[in-house]
Amino acid sequence: MACEGILLGMGNPLLDISAVVDDDFLQKYDIKLNNAILAEDKHLPMYDEMASKGNVDYIAGGATQNSIRVAQWMLQIPGATSYMGSIGKDKFGEEMKKNSTEAGVNVHYYEDEAAPTGTCAVCVVGGERSLIANLSAANCYKSEHLKRPENWKLVEKAKYFYIAGFFLTVSPESIMLVAEHAAANNKVFMMNLSAPFICEFFKDVQEKALPYMDYVFGNETEARTFAKVHGWETENVEEIALKISQWPKASGAHKRITVITQGSDPVVVAEDGKVKLFPVILLPKEKLVDTNGAGDAFVGGFLSQLVQEKPIEDCVKAGCYAANVIIQRSGCTYPEKPDFK
């Protein structure tokens, strides 16, 4: 059984501002679908423009927090998961705390005095999404918060750690503290490639953390970008997954497993020099609401079984189940109880 505090996540807690937009809006702000970027000055007016739309949803988000909340929902064991990140002292921050606590996650936020809680614009067109993150307070996380005894206790208690690649832009030192603790104590450390820009522009910090990763998650676009950045002359996702799994490791306690999702195409799992493909649950187009949070939900479902030491087939099945539930709803939200068998 998964016990209290078994899974710890660290990342950028963001409030998703989600709205259905049109192609003109995408062009106006120079946005590509199925991408995730950090906001530049040219994007800043869009947050107010989206907030003024009639059909806007506010949902607690941030990639790691989404995955942790989904894992918590799948496990249905109060406090099985914990989460750390930085929010502002404002109404969005309060909303986030309330949201996560109600979801059963044990949150230890660092509260920044000056910066507002981070937001993420989720632009939805035809069910596909594009994410533009304005990190604000999320960018202010410091490893000093992690080292405080009441927070480090969460690290000592956890046996599994999951951190999205997005956190590499904020606090690589916090990531390395947890990675080194995991390697020294035979625990499981996991990260996500998260976005093409992480693989391209945060290559050095990503490479520094990679030897510690026991599981690497990502999607096909991120995997191909990773390969390109490292001069691997291949676009073949199976080959790339295999090469990532064979990257040298800091600790020999666990082999590395690479898990790459490909939308409606099969999930690629590379381990022990072999690749396995797992079909996903196909959804009729008319049932698709939006793909926001699909990858995060997949990881959350996967982790919910992994922390119970279930075989990889079950982990992937649970990941596909959770992703299938989430894409039929707005944002990374879910019904009261899972019915995963």
Nearest to 217 by CA among 163, 282, 291, 158: 163
Quote the pLDDT of residue 193: 98
Distance CA 246, CA 249 (A): 8
Q: Is the pLDDT of residue 248 over 70?
A: yes
Single-letter code of the amino acid located at 95: E
Q: Is the pLDDT of residue 118 over 80?
A: yes
Helix (H) or strand (E) segment spanning residue 161 = strand 160-164
Q: Is the pLDDT of residue 129 over 80?
A: yes
Please give the average per-residue pLDDT across 62-84, as a whole number: 96
DSSP state of 166: G
Single-letter code of the amino acid located at 266: P
The whole-model pTM stands at: 0.93
> In this prediction, what percent of the chain has a pLDDT beyond 90?
81
Active site (annotated) includes residue 16 = no
Q: Is the pLDDT of residue 1 over 70?
A: no
Q: Is the pLDDT of residue 330 over 90?
A: no
Residues 16, 214, 290, 296: which is the catalytic one?
296
Look at 53 and 19; give whichever has higher pLDDT.
19
pLDDT digits (tens, 9 = 90+) for 27-70: 999 999 989 999 999 999 999 899 888 788 888 889 999 999 99
Distance CA 18, CA 155 (A): 32
CA 35 to chain centre: 14
Quote the pLDDT of residue 277: 98
Q: In this structure, what token pair is assigned to residue 329?
A: 């709803």
